[in-house]
Amino acid sequence: MGLNRIPRPLLALGLLLLASACATPARHEAEIARQRALSADLVQCKQRALDMSKTREKLLLEKQSLDQERLNLIAEIEAERGGNSELRKTLEAERSSKKAEIQQLSGTYQSLVEQLESEVRSGEVEIEELRGRLQVRALDQILFDSGSAELEPRGREVLAKVARQLAKVSDRRVRVEGHTDDVPIATARFPSNWELSVGRAATVARFLAEQGVAAERLEAAGFGEFRPIASNADPAGRARNRRIEIVLAPLAAE
């Protein structure tokens, strides 16, 4: 049968059904593609949500760590403030104590200068105050005969004046040092200048103890000719080097 012989209504219906049949697979494919795209979008959204959740947890942990560091810093600052306060108190106490020591030492220095005014003026005795130390230097010409470690009456008189002032100082050690020139000595009692300087220092220390200076604060040492304060090339220099030095220093080891 030719198309011209098919009734028009039937022909139109057939063409419609044929077009509908051809369009259905295309729409199905499009729907499947859309569903797949939506599924992919959903997966990406879930992944982004998971990443954001992990980032949030990481930020929370970092915040907690920073909060703890802040608390630690606050505690350290408070402790530092407390420590600084204690340090200031300690420094103030030490400063006050040091000031009292300096005042006492200066008072002792002034008293010695007054007591030994004539000896200082004649150059037989030198008194120095320097950096918390007080030093009395007496030339051996007023203390001992040549080659002897026995105190002369004049030396006893001078040392008695020194002892009266040293006995008033209770927070210092008293170091007695013996020194000689470089002229050698060789006797039965003193084979060298070392023995002579030690013997003289011990004699002076013992005399000071007898005059009231606390024996537990006394030290005696001899250095022979090895610590000169002047040249040994002339009589005047050698005379200065033959000496006894009495040093007041802090009780603690320096």
- Residue 152 gets which letter from DSSP? P
Mean pLDDT, the chain, whole residue set: 83
- pLDDT value at residue 254: 44
Please, are residues 151 and 203 in contact by the beta-carbon 8 Å criterion? Answer: yes
* pLDDT tens profile 22-40: 556 667 777 788 888 888 7
SS3 179: strand
The mean pLDDT of 214-242, rounded to a whole number, is: 96
Measure the CA–CA gap between 5 and 114, rounded to whole angstroms. Answer: 159
In DSSP notation, 70-138 reads HHHHHHHHHHHHHHHHHHHHHHHHHHHHHHHHHHHHHHHHHHHHHHTHHHHHHTSEEEEEETTEEEEEE
The separation between CA 127 and the C-alpha centre of its own chain, rounded to angstroms, equals 33
HSE-CB of 54 using CA atoms within 13 angstroms: 5
Measure the CA–CA gap between 186 and 183, rounded to whole angstroms. Answer: 10
pTM: 0.61
> Among 174, 160, 178, 253, which residue's Cα sits nearest to residue 215?
174
* pLDDT tens profile 149-175: 999 999 999 999 999 999 998 888 999
Measure the CA–CA gap between 244 and 137, rounded to whole angstroms. Answer: 6
- Dump strand ranges (E) for the chain: 125-130, 133-139, 172-179, 218-222, 243-250
> What amino acid is encoded at 196 in this protein?
L
| pLDDT of 102 over the 50 cut | yes
| pLDDT of 178 over the 90 cut | yes
